[in-house]
Chains A and B, each alone.
Chain A
């Protein structure tokens, strides 16, 4: 039957290249009758409909943000489309730097204390980022970064030479949110539990007198832990948050301790946890979506805790 297999493959390739089925079959003489039903069935299968546009748009937008987090622009040169903007930014930055140095020299010559020099600074607000509140960290840089866990959010990380990084996320709808456990600058050991950031990280690049730019806080987080029947965290579980009345959803993987955090715009959600070797579950304990509780994530609330306990499937016990 190898000959018939190869003949079918030849027919498929010819149709793919633009031939009609009959033209493709005509090249295989006696085998054409045997090939025809196979070819017809194969071609019919190619007519499955594509992903509907609404789902496509929602999914692509969320995934593009995730991709941007995971793969920030590399340092080996800007892309052509960004080159003009980067060039303008560099020129403006150079001019500001020169002006700043001139002002600094003038101020210094007027016997002002050296500690007031306009050094580019990253400050930690109200102590949430560790170290001393308001302490300036010189030689700091601001760059896109991958957060501890993946998810549909964009992230900016502020890092200083020799210091751990601090993250601040933004929701898919905009607005800066919370810091992860890694959000510690200056302190040696990160805190053991997550800390919501009442006031977001402020980044200033101008002279000390210039006002800092505060980022608006509009979104909130749903976070918690996925554990097994013995209370042990389940790593790499998927937690999905389905917005009430919408078909899109947020998805997040748990870390080594089974913890997850999903940045969302405020609203009501049904949550579902899935893990290999465990029975999937809708919060709080329902097997089906119809039995799921609605969880309200409010804008005034920093976080909403939702925990799951998944039972092992038979083969995993």
Chain B
């Protein structure tokens, strides 16, 4: 197991573990915060905490769910510190600002349209309540299974299924309203 290899200090094992899980954590934060720099920072924090706690993880098979639980707790702490603001001021957004690629091709246009659709989705998600956003973030942004999402949210699998259906329905309605309102 990869987690075991990291614990044994095998070279490159952590890199593999990181590559396998970093996008699901980052997408979770992207969806929840809608702030790219904050999502990057929180993603890094999650892995710092994961490294610190990896020695105490008993069931290594559940590393993915365990990692997203850390992400969930990190997000809660982040919002507590930020006074529950969804977007926190970050250094990058004010000063250094990582340069964005210039999209000057057909492929770039397609990506720009894709980004617009995603931003529309994320904006639509603002109409959802917190539990609904959380279930969508865990299930579809982070790609957790129903069982893993239930573990993070401390509820039954059936409750997750029900919640995700309602969340998707609300999201769809929000998007439709946004389109007809234009």
Contacts and interface: CB of A to CB of B under 8 A. Distances in A.
B98 A289 contact: no
Dominant secondary structure of chain B at its interface with chain A: helix
B48 A251 contact: yes
Given A41-B171, A51-B22, 19 more contacts: A1-B162, A5-B162, A5-B165, A40-B172, A41-B168, A46-B140, A47-B114, A48-B141, A51-B40, A55-B40, A60-B19, A71-B54, A72-B9, A150-B51, A247-B96, A247-B98, A249-B44, A276-B80, A313-B80
A288 B87 CA distance: 13
B161 A6 contact: yes
A48 B31 contact: yes
Interface stretch (A73-81, A121-129, A197-205): A73-81
Given A45-B31, A313-B80, A79 B10 contact: yes
B52 A150 contact: yes
A18 interface: no
A9 B26 contact: no
Given A59-B43, A242-B91, A82 B11 contact: yes
B72 interface: no
Interface stretch (A61-69, A174-182, A212-220): A61-69
Contacts of A184: none
Contacts of A45: 31, 121, 136, 140-141
A266 B34 CA distance: 33
Contact of A67 (B43, B44, B51): B51
B7 interface: yes
A245 interface: yes
Given A63-B47, A251-B45, A270-B91, A38 B165 contact: yes
Contacts of A274: 81
B15 A71 contact: no
A236 B1 CA distance: 30
A192 interface: no
B92 interface: yes
A66 B48 CA distance: 8
Contact of B165 (A4, A59, A76, A289): A4
Nearest to B140: A45
A62 B18 CA distance: 11
Contacts of B15: 60, 64
B60 interface: no
Interface string B138-182: 011101001000000000001001101100110110010000000
Contact of A290 (B45, B92, B95, B117): B95
B118 A49 contact: yes
A246 interface: yes
A54 interface: yes
Top-4 shortest CB links A-B: A45-B140, A73-B9, A5-B161, A67-B14
A22 B82 CA distance: 43
A8 interface: yes
A68 B98 CA distance: 28
Given A40-B172, A55-B40, A71-B54, A63 B158 contact: no
A162 interface: no
Given A245-B96, A247-B98, A313-B80, A48 B161 contact: no
A154 B40 CA distance: 23
A246 B95 CA distance: 9
B9 A41 contact: no
A56 interface: yes
Contacts of A289: 89-91, 94-95
A50 interface: yes
A51 B43 contact: yes
